[in-house]
Amino acid sequence: MSQDEQPQIYLISPPEFDLMVFPDRLAAVLDQHEVACVRLALATHDEDRLCRAADALREVTHARDVALVIDRHILLAERLGLDGVHLEDGARSVRKARKALGADAIVGAFCGNSSHEGMSAGEAGCDYISFGPVTETALADGGIAEDELFEWWSQMIELPVVAEGGLDAETVTRLAPLTDFFGIGEEIWSQDDAIAAFTALTAALR
Protein backbone atom coordinates (compact mmCIF):
# COMPACT_ATOMS: atom_id res chain seq x y z
CA MET A 1 0.00 0.00 0.00
CA SER A 2 1.37 3.41 -0.89
CA GLN A 3 1.87 5.83 1.96
CA ASP A 4 -0.87 8.21 0.83
CA GLU A 5 -3.52 5.50 0.70
CA GLN A 6 -5.65 4.80 3.75
CA PRO A 7 -6.68 1.23 4.58
CA GLN A 8 -10.16 0.18 3.51
CA ILE A 9 -12.75 -1.39 5.79
CA TYR A 10 -13.66 -5.05 5.60
CA LEU A 11 -16.84 -5.57 7.63
CA ILE A 12 -17.46 -8.88 9.43
CA SER A 13 -20.92 -9.98 10.56
CA PRO A 14 -21.51 -11.14 14.14
CA PRO A 15 -21.29 -14.91 14.70
CA GLU A 16 -25.00 -14.85 15.57
CA PHE A 17 -27.67 -12.34 14.58
CA ASP A 18 -31.42 -11.82 14.19
CA LEU A 19 -32.35 -12.01 10.51
CA MET A 20 -35.22 -9.62 11.16
CA VAL A 21 -32.88 -6.95 12.55
CA PHE A 22 -29.30 -7.28 11.33
CA PRO A 23 -29.75 -6.62 7.58
CA ASP A 24 -31.20 -3.19 8.43
CA ARG A 25 -28.33 -2.48 10.85
CA LEU A 26 -25.86 -3.44 8.14
CA ALA A 27 -27.62 -1.26 5.56
CA ALA A 28 -27.51 1.73 7.92
CA VAL A 29 -23.75 1.31 8.43
CA LEU A 30 -23.08 0.89 4.70
CA ASP A 31 -25.10 4.00 3.95
CA GLN A 32 -22.96 6.05 6.34
CA HIS A 33 -19.50 4.58 5.80
CA GLU A 34 -17.48 3.35 2.85
CA VAL A 35 -16.88 -0.38 3.08
CA ALA A 36 -14.96 -2.53 0.59
CA CYS A 37 -16.31 -5.96 1.50
CA VAL A 38 -18.71 -7.69 3.90
CA ARG A 39 -18.09 -11.16 5.32
CA LEU A 40 -20.93 -13.38 6.48
CA ALA A 41 -19.38 -15.03 9.52
CA LEU A 42 -22.23 -16.92 11.17
CA ALA A 43 -21.00 -19.63 13.53
CA THR A 44 -23.89 -21.95 12.68
CA HIS A 45 -23.57 -24.97 10.40
CA ASP A 46 -27.32 -24.96 9.71
CA GLU A 47 -27.42 -24.82 5.92
CA ASP A 48 -30.91 -23.32 5.72
CA ARG A 49 -30.03 -20.54 8.15
CA LEU A 50 -26.81 -19.78 6.31
CA CYS A 51 -28.65 -19.61 2.99
CA ARG A 52 -31.36 -17.30 4.33
CA ALA A 53 -28.76 -15.04 5.94
CA ALA A 54 -26.70 -14.93 2.75
CA ASP A 55 -29.74 -14.04 0.66
CA ALA A 56 -30.70 -11.24 3.06
CA LEU A 57 -27.21 -9.74 3.25
CA ARG A 58 -26.64 -10.06 -0.50
CA GLU A 59 -29.69 -7.86 -1.12
CA VAL A 60 -28.17 -5.20 1.13
CA THR A 61 -24.58 -5.39 -0.13
CA HIS A 62 -25.15 -5.76 -3.85
CA ALA A 63 -27.59 -2.85 -3.90
CA ARG A 64 -24.64 -0.77 -2.68
CA ASP A 65 -21.95 -2.35 -4.89
CA VAL A 66 -20.23 -3.98 -1.91
CA ALA A 67 -18.77 -7.47 -2.25
CA LEU A 68 -20.12 -10.26 -0.02
CA VAL A 69 -18.05 -13.30 0.96
CA ILE A 70 -18.88 -16.15 3.32
CA ASP A 71 -16.78 -17.88 5.95
CA ARG A 72 -15.56 -21.40 5.12
CA HIS A 73 -18.43 -22.67 2.96
CA ILE A 74 -17.00 -22.92 -0.57
CA LEU A 75 -20.00 -24.77 -2.02
CA LEU A 76 -22.50 -22.28 -0.58
CA ALA A 77 -20.51 -19.36 -1.99
CA GLU A 78 -20.88 -20.88 -5.43
CA ARG A 79 -24.50 -21.94 -5.08
CA LEU A 80 -25.70 -18.62 -3.65
CA GLY A 81 -23.85 -16.45 -6.14
CA LEU A 82 -21.69 -14.75 -3.52
CA ASP A 83 -18.50 -12.92 -4.41
CA GLY A 84 -16.20 -15.39 -2.72
CA VAL A 85 -15.11 -17.21 0.41
CA HIS A 86 -12.99 -16.47 3.48
CA LEU A 87 -11.03 -19.54 4.57
CA GLU A 88 -10.01 -20.09 8.17
CA ASP A 89 -7.42 -22.83 7.69
CA GLY A 90 -4.55 -20.83 6.25
CA ALA A 91 -3.27 -22.12 2.91
CA ARG A 92 -4.85 -25.57 3.09
CA SER A 93 -8.09 -24.97 1.16
CA VAL A 94 -7.01 -22.14 -1.14
CA ARG A 95 -6.40 -24.22 -4.27
CA LYS A 96 -9.64 -26.14 -3.74
CA ALA A 97 -11.60 -22.91 -3.34
CA ARG A 98 -9.99 -21.31 -6.38
CA LYS A 99 -10.74 -24.36 -8.52
CA ALA A 100 -14.38 -24.48 -7.36
CA LEU A 101 -15.11 -20.75 -7.60
CA GLY A 102 -13.01 -19.68 -10.57
CA ALA A 103 -10.51 -16.94 -11.24
CA ASP A 104 -12.88 -14.02 -10.62
CA ALA A 105 -14.03 -15.03 -7.13
CA ILE A 106 -12.55 -13.50 -3.98
CA VAL A 107 -10.60 -16.09 -1.99
CA GLY A 108 -9.13 -14.93 1.31
CA ALA A 109 -7.24 -16.81 3.99
CA PHE A 110 -6.94 -16.22 7.72
CA CYS A 111 -3.38 -17.07 8.76
CA GLY A 112 -3.29 -16.13 12.45
CA ASN A 113 0.14 -14.69 13.12
CA SER A 114 2.14 -16.85 10.69
CA SER A 115 3.96 -15.09 7.86
CA HIS A 116 4.91 -18.52 6.49
CA GLU A 117 1.27 -19.58 6.31
CA GLY A 118 0.44 -16.26 4.68
CA MET A 119 3.08 -16.68 2.01
CA SER A 120 1.93 -20.25 1.35
CA ALA A 121 -1.67 -19.07 0.96
CA GLY A 122 -0.52 -16.35 -1.42
CA GLU A 123 1.42 -18.85 -3.51
CA ALA A 124 -1.67 -21.08 -3.60
CA GLY A 125 -3.63 -18.25 -5.23
CA CYS A 126 -5.60 -16.33 -2.62
CA ASP A 127 -6.50 -12.65 -3.05
CA TYR A 128 -5.76 -11.43 0.47
CA ILE A 129 -4.31 -12.62 3.77
CA SER A 130 -5.85 -11.91 7.15
CA PHE A 131 -3.75 -11.75 10.32
CA GLY A 132 -5.04 -11.43 13.88
CA PRO A 133 -6.00 -10.92 16.56
CA VAL A 134 -3.99 -7.74 16.92
CA THR A 135 -4.50 -7.31 20.67
CA GLU A 136 -4.43 -9.81 23.53
CA THR A 137 -7.38 -12.16 23.85
CA ALA A 138 -8.20 -15.30 25.79
CA LEU A 139 -9.64 -16.87 22.63
CA ALA A 140 -7.95 -19.59 20.56
CA ASP A 141 -4.30 -20.04 21.54
CA GLY A 142 -3.81 -16.48 22.74
CA GLY A 143 -1.37 -15.68 19.94
CA ILE A 144 -1.15 -12.12 18.64
CA ALA A 145 -0.34 -10.77 15.20
CA GLU A 146 2.28 -8.21 16.22
CA ASP A 147 2.85 -4.86 14.50
CA GLU A 148 6.18 -6.19 13.21
CA LEU A 149 4.37 -8.84 11.16
CA PHE A 150 2.32 -6.21 9.33
CA GLU A 151 5.36 -4.00 8.91
CA TRP A 152 7.37 -6.85 7.37
CA TRP A 153 4.45 -7.88 5.14
CA SER A 154 3.83 -4.35 3.88
CA GLN A 155 7.50 -3.98 2.94
CA MET A 156 8.11 -7.42 1.44
CA ILE A 157 4.81 -8.77 0.08
CA GLU A 158 2.45 -7.16 -2.44
CA LEU A 159 -0.59 -9.32 -1.57
CA PRO A 160 -3.19 -7.27 0.36
CA VAL A 161 -3.36 -7.89 4.09
CA VAL A 162 -6.24 -7.53 6.58
CA ALA A 163 -5.76 -6.74 10.27
CA GLU A 164 -8.62 -8.15 12.34
CA GLY A 165 -9.55 -9.15 15.85
CA GLY A 166 -9.47 -6.98 18.96
CA LEU A 167 -9.21 -3.65 17.17
CA ASP A 168 -9.45 -0.39 19.08
CA ALA A 169 -8.91 3.21 17.99
CA GLU A 170 -5.29 3.21 19.19
CA THR A 171 -4.45 0.02 17.27
CA VAL A 172 -6.16 1.32 14.12
CA THR A 173 -4.06 4.48 14.31
CA ARG A 174 -0.86 2.49 14.80
CA LEU A 175 -1.49 -0.09 12.07
CA ALA A 176 -2.96 2.26 9.47
CA PRO A 177 0.37 2.71 7.60
CA LEU A 178 1.01 -1.06 7.63
CA THR A 179 -2.22 -2.74 6.50
CA ASP A 180 -4.50 -2.62 3.46
CA PHE A 181 -7.73 -3.43 5.30
CA PHE A 182 -9.15 -3.44 8.80
CA GLY A 183 -11.54 -6.32 9.50
CA ILE A 184 -14.14 -4.82 11.81
CA GLY A 185 -16.88 -6.91 13.41
CA GLU A 186 -17.89 -7.27 17.03
CA GLU A 187 -16.04 -4.02 17.78
CA ILE A 188 -19.09 -2.21 16.38
CA TRP A 189 -21.91 -4.78 16.44
CA SER A 190 -21.60 -5.24 20.22
CA GLN A 191 -22.43 -1.54 20.65
CA ASP A 192 -25.96 -0.13 20.64
CA ASP A 193 -25.03 2.44 18.00
CA ALA A 194 -22.93 0.61 15.40
CA ILE A 195 -22.57 3.70 13.22
CA ALA A 196 -21.14 5.78 16.06
CA ALA A 197 -18.84 2.93 17.09
CA PHE A 198 -17.60 2.63 13.49
CA THR A 199 -16.99 6.38 13.35
CA ALA A 200 -15.00 6.38 16.60
CA LEU A 201 -12.96 3.29 15.71
CA THR A 202 -11.93 4.59 12.29
CA ALA A 203 -11.43 8.26 13.18
CA ALA A 204 -7.71 8.01 12.40
CA LEU A 205 -8.48 7.05 8.79
CA ARG A 206 -10.19 10.32 7.94
- Structure confidence at residue 141 (pLDDT): 66
Q: Which residues, in sequence order, are CB contacts of 188 under 8 Å at separation 6+? A: 29, 194, 197, 198, 201
User: How far is residue 31's CA from residue 60's CA, in Å, rounded to a whole number?
Assistant: 10
What pLDDT does residue 2 have? 39
Nearest to 88 by CA among 105, 64, 104, 112: 112
Q: What is the Cα–Cα distance from 68 to 61, expressed in whole angstroms?
A: 7
- Range with lowest mean pLDDT among 2-11, 38-47, 66-75, 122-131: 2-11
pLDDT tens column, 25-34: 999 999 999 9
Whether omega for the bond prior to residue 14 falls within 30 degrees of 0, making it cis, is no
User: Which residue type does 134 have?
Assistant: V
DSSP string, the chain: --TTPPPEEEEE--SS--TTTHHHHHHHHHHHS--SEEEE------HHHHHHHHHHHHHHHHTTT-EEEEES-HHHHHHTT-SEEEESSTTTTHHHHHHHH-TTSEEEEE-TT-HHHHHHHHHHT-SEEEE---S--SSTT-----HHHHHHHHHH--S-EEEESS--HHHHHHHTTT-SEEEESHHHHTSS-HHHHHHHHTGGG-
pLDDT, the chain, mean: 94
Q: Can you tell me the distance from the alpha carbon of 131 to that of 163, in angstroms, rounded to the nearest whole number?
A: 5
Report the pLDDT value the prediction gives residue 136, as an integer from 0 to 100.
80
- CATH number, domain 8-205, options 3.80.10.10, 3.30.450.40, 3.20.20.70, 3.90.550.10: 3.20.20.70
Which percentage of the chain shows pLDDT scores above 70? Answer: 96
Summarize the confidence of residues 80-107 as an average pLDDT.
96
